[in-house]
Structure 1
Amino acid sequence: MADLPARTAARYAEDLVDAGLLQSHPTADRYRYHDLLRLFAAEQLAEEDGPEEISASEDRAARWTLRRATAAALHFEAEYGSAAVQGDAEGDPDPATAPVGSDRARAWLEEERAQWLGALRHAQSTGRHRQVVDAAEAMHWFSDATMDWELWAEVFLRATDSARALGSTREVAVQLNYLAWARNMCVFDYAGALAAADAALEAAREAGDELQVGWALGYGAGALQRLGRIGEAVARLRSSVARFAGLSCGESRLAELTALNALGQVLRMDGRPEEALAIHRRSKALCRAGIPGRPTVVSRAYLSLVSQCIGNDLAALGRWSEAEAPLREVLSLRAVNPVSFWSETARLELGVVLRHLGRHDEARQTLTAAHEALVRLNHPRQLEAAAELSTLEAAAAASRVRARDGAADRPGGSQ
């Protein structure tokens, strides 16, 4: 904000701490004011600096923050480090202090969430639409790992508006597809998700981008499924799979896997688990074969998704003993690269399988852990977990009654 070299700014900040005018934050790498000093500083700012100087300072801070957020988010991109990913991005504004590795990048993005979202808003309000779109594009893999963040709906809506301001029809389609995902998965606004997917489909067709056409069909299908329009969802997903299968890039294989997994899930919901199982086994074979141009960690992530689908297909067929292994495989695969939003749904489903296998103690422990985590994540399936725990307790109570009655009926039993 002061337009100083970082080392100079750090020295001045420490001088202010020594003078009792700033306080070091006890845990984060930042400083803060005492409340009264904050008020005094705001008064001095209004008296000593003009609107142009204040605006320029705020703009410098916003640019710096959004550049760092963009660079940090790229750590989660499947092709991180490649020239294709870096593209025309400016890179981190201060590489010497940049977070290194995905763990530190995630910690920075979480701690500074309010700051970089504010910087994104500032960038859009000041017409820096390219920076807004680039930041949102960089965020899309990271958003997949933080689906409990409601802010993604705002991020991708702003990026859509900025893409329109840039006149880029293809980027409008891309950001609308991300927006449809966010409304489906983060804020559970299924009508809004369908509207975004339909708009993405129109933009993708106008741009002649078959990959984005396929994604728009898939995201629209997800919304239709959640709205109970199963037949329409199946039709869109079949079209989506066909689009992706006709393409040859690495991203199209990822997209095809996503669409196949979703198609199988909708078929299972429609009471067709045998068809679903066949679809998901086809998807698993694609995962095992590897995904061109993508690291092993990506194949492993998709393998965990399809294993979860297979476990649920087998459970829907009543093949409980077979369903246990693929669901345990999911938790094992995700233990290496945990994503709570996904992992805990698999834990819930494993708990249901254990209940049906009559292993009530294991089921109770598993369902309790899943329920507590889903509540923390504000996941809609927390209600399902609570219901499963109630069903388990009712079954256990009934079993105790039967055991007591059986004992009473035996010679010498209690009367």
Structure 2
Amino acid sequence: MNVDNWLTAMQAAAADGRHSLVLDCAESMHWFSDLWVHSPHWHEVFTRGAEAAGALGDLAQQATQLNYLAWLHSVPPSDPEAILRCTSQALELATRAGATAQIAWAHEYTASALRLRDRFAEAVTASSRAAELFKTIEDIDSHVQCRAHIAHCLFDEGRHTDALEQYLALLALLEDTESGMTPSVASRSRPFALIRIGHCLERLGRRTEAITTLSEGIDALDELKVSDFRQAGALESLAALLAGEGRTDESRHAYARAAQVFEAIGDTGARSRCHALAAVTS
């Protein structure tokens, strides 16, 4: 993605006080960052974006960049305290600016921090508040993300049947061309819904269905060229399921792929674990 070129240009613009250019660059990276979540550059990019917005006196954009930083801190290894620091500032700025979307995002990322702390009921309340706010401004894309997070909370709480029901409803919405969702957002979200459904099926003992659904989700991520902790986790789960079905060659391949992804994102412990499991299935 020629990161050295545009990041160097961004740094030079910041040094020259060209705040609008810095902010434009940071904002342009928003959706792309979700496809390359483990890049080491995003903290600098969105921090500079927040600083530039502050220098311009743009409270809404400053809140936006702080919410991006909150999202970044939710990527494993997650930092709930850092998330809450960002969302607290973002909520205060967005409220002063009357920026409803950023108020909603501050609540949603607060929900992420609460979920990481196993405070599931509070997380659901925060995500529900965000979902309602997005509904009032007719932002269906963001509304759906909040609904997905509520399902994540149910899953983490061990309510796998309830979570599965929620994920299936979400998948139907993502695949509905009349849903009002932005097509590109729906296509990016669909693989993750499939993977979540696969994890639910796995926990419910529905192994054959889990293998099929996880495989479909992983293939969809491959088409999008997304390789991150979500893909790695899906590959490891798939490998375990395949091993349980006696499909050792496929299992070994899935473990090897999971190890590669974990290595790429810097999770050496998970990489070693998958390497060892691949050897066991040999």
Higher relative contact order (CA 8 A, sep 6+): 2
Please tell me whether residue 179 in structure 1 is matched to residue 69 in structure 2: yes
**C-alpha spacing 1:206/1:355, structure 2 compared with 1 (3 Å):** farther
How far does the alpha carbon of each residue in 1:222-263 deviate from its partner, in whole angstroms, 9 at most, with x for none? 223234433332322222222223332xxx222122222222
Q: Is there any run of 5+ residues in structure 1 with no aligned partner, and where?
A: 1-105, 398-415
Give the deviation of 1:198 after TM superposition: 2.2
Determine the structure 1 residue equivalent to 2:129.
239
Give the deviation of 1:140 after TM superposition: 0.9
Please tell me whether residue 265 in structure 1 is matched to residue 152 in structure 2: yes
* In 2: Cα distance, 1:135 partner to 1:124 partner: 11
Once the two structures are superposed, the pairs formed by residues 3-402 of structure 1 within 5 Å of their partners are 106=1, 109=2, 113-185=3-75, 188-248=78-138, 252-290=139-177, 292=180, 294-295=182-183, 297-341=184-228, 342-378=230-266, 380=267, 383-384=269-270, 386-387=272-273, 390=276
The count of aligned residue pairs is: 280
* In 1: Cα distance, 2:27 partner to 2:76 partner: 17
* In 2: Cα distance, 1:246 partner to 1:175 partner: 22
Contact 2:256–2:274 (Cα < 8 Å) also in 1: no
* In 1: Cα distance, 2:80 partner to 2:157 partner: 19
Letter in 2 for 1:287: L
How far does the alpha carbon of each residue in 1:273-331 deviate from its partner, in whole angstroms, 9 at most, with x for none? 11111111121121011353733x43222111111111111112222122112111112
Q: Is there any run of 5+ residues in structure 2 with no aligned partner, and where?
A: none
**C-alpha spacing 1:266/1:143, structure 2 compared with 1 (3 Å):** same
Give the deviation of 1:385 after TM superposition: 5.6
Identity %: 30
* In 2: Cα distance, 1:151 partner to 1:238 partner: 31
Contact 1:184–1:190 (Cα < 8 Å) also in 2: yes
Contact 1:355–1:392 (Cα < 8 Å) also in 2: no
**C-alpha spacing 1:235/1:392, structure 2 compared with 1 (3 Å):** farther
How far does the alpha carbon of each residue in 1:91-144 deviate from its partner, in whole angstroms, 9 at most, with x for none? xxxxxxxxxxxxxxx3xx2xxx23432332232232211111111001111211
Structure 2 length normalisation: TM-score? 0.89
Moved more, 140-149 or 343-352: 343-352
Letter in 2 for 1:280: Y
Contact 1:153–1:187 (Cα < 8 Å) also in 2: no
* In 1: Cα distance, 2:134 partner to 2:243 partner: 39
Determine the structure 2 residue equivalent to 1:400.
none
* In 1: Cα distance, 2:261 partner to 2:193 partner: 22
* In 1: Cα distance, 2:55 partner to 2:121 partner: 36
RMSD over aligned CA atoms reads 2.4
**C-alpha spacing 1:114/1:180, structure 2 compared with 1 (3 Å):** same
**C-alpha spacing 1:179/1:340, structure 2 compared with 1 (3 Å):** same
**C-alpha spacing 1:187/1:323, structure 2 compared with 1 (3 Å):** closer
How far does the alpha carbon of each residue in 1:57-111 deviate from its partner, in whole angstroms, 9 at most, with x for none? xxxxxxxxxxxxxxxxxxxxxxxxxxxxxxxxxxxxxxxxxxxxxxxxx3xx2xx
**C-alpha spacing 1:118/1:186, structure 2 compared with 1 (3 Å):** farther
* In 2: Cα distance, 1:370 partner to 1:393 partner: 13
Letter in 1 for 2:151: G
Contact 2:104–2:134 (Cα < 8 Å) also in 1: yes
**C-alpha spacing 1:313/1:132, structure 2 compared with 1 (3 Å):** same
* In 1: Cα distance, 2:174 partner to 2:62 partner: 30
Contact 1:193–1:220 (Cα < 8 Å) also in 2: yes
Contact 2:14–2:22 (Cα < 8 Å) also in 1: yes
**C-alpha spacing 1:117/1:203, structure 2 compared with 1 (3 Å):** same
* In 2: Cα distance, 1:324 partner to 1:194 partner: 36
What's the secondary structure of 1:292's corresponding residue?
Answer: coil
Letter in 2 for 1:232: E
**C-alpha spacing 1:263/1:362, structure 2 compared with 1 (3 Å):** same
Structure 1 length normalisation: TM-score? 0.62
Give the deviation of 1:171 after TM superposition: 0.6
* In 1: Cα distance, 2:76 partner to 2:11 partner: 20
**C-alpha spacing 1:358/1:392, structure 2 compared with 1 (3 Å):** farther
